[in-house]
Amino acid sequence: MYNVRTDLAIERRDIYESENNKTITGVKVEEESSEDIKITTVHIENEEGERNMGKPIGQYITIEMPELTQYDGAIMDQVAHILAGSLEKIINLKEDSLTLVIGLGNIAVTPDALGPKVVKKLMITRHLKKLIPDEIDEEIRPVCALAPGVLGTTGIETGEIIKSLVDKLNPDLVICIDALSSRSLKRVAKTIQISNTGIAPGAGVGNNRMEINEKAIGVPVVAIGVPTVVNAATVANDAMDLVLDEMIEEATEGKEFYTMLKSMDRGKKGELIKSLLRPYMGELMVTPKDVDEIIDFISKIVANGINLALQPTMMIDEINSFLN
């Protein structure tokens, strides 16, 4: 296969195994389900797994939502609780631990606005714990948040802003939320990835920025991402694969045309598509037409999941009443 842009560990695993026709080594995969919601945990265990996956050693949890989740409030709440449970497994916080939540992305560009929109829906408590401690339950953890914008509008690397905040506030944990890139339209807005390895903003769309991880900023970093875009060349390649599969199905086995279709190098086809599209479209990214609605409902799920994980003594109704 040709080089496909994706931020999802589960897709990196699939790409490696498809290219090499063997199970990936240095990586352990666990799968479970809760009704129609699938949870896959990819453990990159050593340097070999890191090389094979092209991602740092660590844990990557992928939550796959059922179709039409945005139209069912009960399923949205269920996904939020699963997200919270997955977060709690890797954050390891004390009752008084301070968490800094960072909403990465550009609020003016809808497919990239997930992070800032999540920040608006969070239960922020750090200032209340300081200003009115007698009015706030002792079990409520202090939480602060910021949507720092992007380099193009601030002139400052997001990682530099976060490092400055960490040095000043001394949080126990940083949670970063960002929009991701997928290799498949089937995963756009239907997949949430959580990792304990930090994040490289913009990597999925070829716009690499300063990495945000424990080594760079000095405290543990958990990343939460949702794919909102797919590379246009990937969409074209997948469409051609479907056409080829249908033609192979209809062709007569053993005939010259059938043999030609079966012997086609699909990896070279992908590279050809990219080279043909690049002069006309550049690195064009594709997003669903209802992306506004998608970002709104996904941001609510992610915010509720974070709120529940950081405030485990509260119910979702209590959190919603606090925000209102």
Question: What is the pLDDT at residue 235?
Answer: 73
Confidence class of residue 236 from pLDDT cuts 50, 70 and 90?
Answer: confident
Residues 299, 288: contact at Cβ < 8 Å?
A: no
Tell me the pLDDT tens digit for each residue of 253-300: 877 776 776 776 656 666 666 666 666 555 677 888 889 999 999 999
Q: What pLDDT score was predicted for residue 278?
A: 65
Residue type, 156: I
What pLDDT does residue 102 have?
97
Position 49: which residue type? G
Provide the strand spans (E) within the chain. Answer: 27-34, 37-44, 58-64, 99-103, 143-146, 173-182, 191-195, 221-231, 285-286
Question: H/E/C letters for each residue in 62-112?
Answer: EEECCCCHHHCHHHHHHHHHHHHHHHHHHHCCCCCCCEEEEECCCCCCHHH
Out of 16-30, 63-77, 115-129, 204-218, which region has the weakest mean confidence (pLDDT)?
204-218
Sign of CA dihedral 216, 219, 223, 224: negative
Has residue 155 got a pLDDT over 60? yes
Question: Which amino acid, 313?
Answer: T
| CA 306/CA 310 separation, integer angstroms | 6
**40-72 residues labelled b (16+ CB within 10 A) or e (exposed):** bbbbbeeeebbebbebbbbbbbbbbbeeebbee
Selection from 3-7, 19-23, 103-107, 207-211 with the highest mean pLDDT = 103-107
**What's the CA gap between 198 and 60, in Å, rounded?**
11
Inter-residue contact 262 to 184 (CB < 8 Å): no
Angle in degrees, CA 312, 313, 314, rounded to 5: 90
* Across 70-84, 137-151, 186-200, 206-220, least confident range: 206-220
pLDDT of residue 27: 95
pLDDT in tens, 62-80: 999 988 788 888 899 999 9
Residue range 17-43: average pLDDT? 91
In the numeric block, the tokens 């997955």 are attached to 86
pLDDT at 135 over 90: no
List CB contacts of 28: < 8 A, sequence separation 6 or more.
42, 43, 45
Which pLDDT tens digit goes with each residue over 81-104? 999 999 999 998 988 899 999 999
Mean predicted confidence (pLDDT) in 240-250: 78
| Average pLDDT score over residue span 203-219 | 76
The number of CA neighbours under 13 Å toward the Cβ of 157 is 14
**pLDDT score, position 1:** 40
Q: Which residues contact 296 (CB under 8 A, 6 or more apart)?
A: 117
Residue in the block written with tokens 């050593």: 46
Query: Angle at the Cα of 303 (from 100 to 195), degrees rounded to 5?
Result: 65
CB 174 within 8 A of CB 97: no
- Tell me what pLDDT residue 320 has: 80
pLDDT of residue 307: 96
Mean confidence (pLDDT) of the chain: 86
What would the pLDDT profile of 304-324 be if each residue is shown by its tens digit? 999 999 999 888 888 887 776
